[in-house]
Homo-oligomer: A and B are copies of this chain.
C-alpha cells in the first residue's frame, strides 16, 4: 500500500444501492446554498420544531425536573415561599411556577424508573412505560372487558423513533434474496431503503391516487400475484396510515380488507401509524382495533416525533406486536428474537422513553396542566390544518397541478401534470429550491406510477413564511412548466 494513497475497499453493495431521498440530493444542495448565505425553507422533512413549533410546555417541565431531580425539592420550596410571602418573588410571573401535579408526576416517574435517566433501562424499555402504552392503546381502541383484545406490555418495544422498530422487523423477515415486502407507492423511503439494505425485494402496490389514494383488496392481490409470478416469496405488507407522503387516510372497511388479504396469504402486517393524531376531516382507526381477535401478525409503530408533539430530536417511539409469529423450524417467538436484537443496542434513549410515557399519559381533565395542554395541542393541530389549506389554495393557482385525498400526516403530495419536455420532478424541485429556497422532495424519491410526477411538501412553515413564499412558488411554477 502506497503511503500517499487512499485505501479502496469493497463494501456492502446493499448499502451502496440504498437511497433515502428525504435527506438526498435536494436537501444536500440546500445545505450548500445555506453555506453560500441563502435562506432555505426545509420542507423536505417533517421536522416541526425546526420551524419554531413550540414543544408542549408540560412535557418539557417534566423533562427539566427529571434531568435534575434536585430541582423538585427546590420548586416545592419556591411554591411555599410564594404562598407565604408573595411580594418577595414579585419579579416572577405565575407561569414561572411549577404545579404540584407536575412535581408529583416527575417524582413518581423517577421512583418508577428506580435508576433515573442515566442508567441503561431494560432493552425493550421499562415495564411501567410499556404498561402505560398498553393502557393507552386499549383506551384509544375502546377495548374493555366485554369488547376487543388488550395490548400486551410484553409485546411492546420502546425504540429510538419509530424507524428503529421498522428496521428490526424488516431485517428479521428478509431471510433470503427472494424474500419480499409489499409497500405502497408512493411510500416513505425508510421502507425501500431498509428492504434494500436487508437484501430483499421491494414489492410495490399502488393506491388509487385519483380516488383520494384509496386502497382495496384487488390492488393488493394484483401486486402479490405479480410478485409471485416473479418468484418472490412475499412475507409482509407495509401500510402507512395516515399516508406519508400522500396524507391519505384509510377507513375501517379498507383496513379490514388489508387484514383479510394478509390472513389469506399468510403475511404479516407492518402498520406505520405515526401520524395517528394528524387527521383532518376523517377519523383515525387503528389496525389493532379492526384486527380484534383475528390471528394475523401485526407490527404497529407510533412515535413522539409527529402528531402535535413534534419531539423529533428526542427520538422516541414504540413497536407494538399482536399475534407474534414463531420462527420456522423452531419454537422461538419473534418477541424473543426482537428482544435479542434490541439488547445488542442495550436500550433506547431514556428521554425518548419518558416522552413516550408522557405521550400515552395526557393530563386528565381537571388536572392543573390540563387546560394549557389542550390549548397548546389544539392550537398546533389547527395551525397545521390552516397551513395545509393555504398550500392547497396555492396549488390551485398553479397550472396543471392536482392534489388528491384528504389532509393527513404533515404532507401534501401534489401531482405535476405538466413539466417541460424531457424534464422530471427532480429537475422541478431542484429549480424550485434554487429560485425560491423552498426545499421539497421529488415524487420519484418516494416512488410513483410510471409517467407521473409529484413532489412532497411538509406543511410546516409558519403562515407568515407561507404568505411570502407561496406567491413566489406560484410564479416560479407557472413560468417553469410553460417554458
Contacts and interface: CB of A to CB of B under 8 A. Distances in A.
Measured as residues with beta carbon below 8 angstroms from the partner, the interface class of chain A is 35 or more
Contact of A60 (B67, B311, B345): B67
Contacts of A190: 344
Given A11-B173, A67-B63, A328-B8, A118 B344 contact: no
Interface in A276-301: 294-297
Interface stretch (A73-81, A245-253, A390-398, A423-431): A73-81
A123 interface: yes
Interface string A346-381: 111111100000000000000000000000000000
Contacts of A70: 57, 95-96
A9 B268 contact: yes
A18 B344 contact: yes
A324 to B, nearest CB: 8
A143 interface: no
Interface stretch (A42-50, A217-225, A411-419, A470-478): A42-50
A327 interface: yes
Given A11-B328, A23-B123, A118-B314, A77 B50 contact: no
A117 interface: yes
A313 interface: yes
Contact of A325 (B9, B81, B344): B9
Contacts of A3: 294-295
Counting chain B CB atoms within 10 Å of each CB, the highest count among A3, A18, A64 belongs to A64
7 contacts: A4-B295, A7-B325, A8-B327, A9-B325, A118-B310, A160-B160, A160-B349
The 6 closest A-B pairs by CB, nearest first: A88-B88, A64-B68, A313-B350, A49-B118, A23-B343, A49-B119
Interface of A: 1, 3-13, 15-16, 18, 20, 22-23, 45, 47-50, 55, 57, 60-61, 63-65, 67-68, 70-71, 74, 77-78, 80-81, 85, 87-89, 91-92, 95-96, 115-121, 123, 160-161, 163-164, 171-176, 179, 190, 193-194, 197-198, 235, 263-264, 266, 268, 294-297, 305, 310-315, 323-329, 332, 334, 337, 340-341, 343-352
Given A16-B327, A64-B68, 13 more contacts: A6-B323, A7-B297, A23-B343, A50-B119, A64-B64, A64-B71, A81-B88, A88-B88, A163-B344, A164-B345, A194-B344, A314-B349, A351-B351
